[in-house]
Amino acid sequence: MKLAATKNVKATVNDLLVKVRKSRYQRYRVFCKARQEREARKKRKRMAKLRRALTKPEDWQRHMRVLERLAAPKVAAKPKKRRKPSKKRKWRPVNMERVYFLALPTIQREPPLRDPFEVSERALTYRMTKRTEKLAIRKKRPEIPLRIPGAVSPAATKAIASERVIVLAKPAQRPAGRETDLREDAFTVSPMALKARCSKRLKSLAKPKTYPKPVFKRLRTALKRR
pLDDT tens-digit map of 184-193: 777 888 888 8
pLDDT tens-digit map of 25-58: 777 888 888 889 999 999 888 888 877 777 777 8
Q: What is the pLDDT of residue 203?
A: 92
Q: Which burial class, exposed, middle or buried, applies to 170 when counting CB atoms under 10 A from its CB (0-12, 13-18, 19+)?
A: exposed
> b/e for 173-205, b at 16 or more Cβ within 10 A?
eeeeeeeeeeeeeeeeeeeeeeeeeeeeeeeee
Quote helix, strand, coil % in the chain, to nearest 5. Answer: 55, 0, 45
Are residues 169 and 161 in contact, defined by beta-carbon separation less than 8 angstroms? yes
Percent of the chain with pLDDT over 70: 88
Q: What is the pLDDT of residue 162?
A: 93
Distances (CA, A) of 178 to 174, 184, 186: 6, 11, 15
Q: What 8-state DSSP symbol labels residue 21?
A: H
Q: What is the pLDDT of residue 214?
A: 65
Position 217 confidence tier, pLDDT thresholds 50, 70, 90: low
pLDDT tens-digit map of 77-136: 888 777 776 667 777 888 889 889 988 888 888 888 888 888 888 888 988 899 999 999
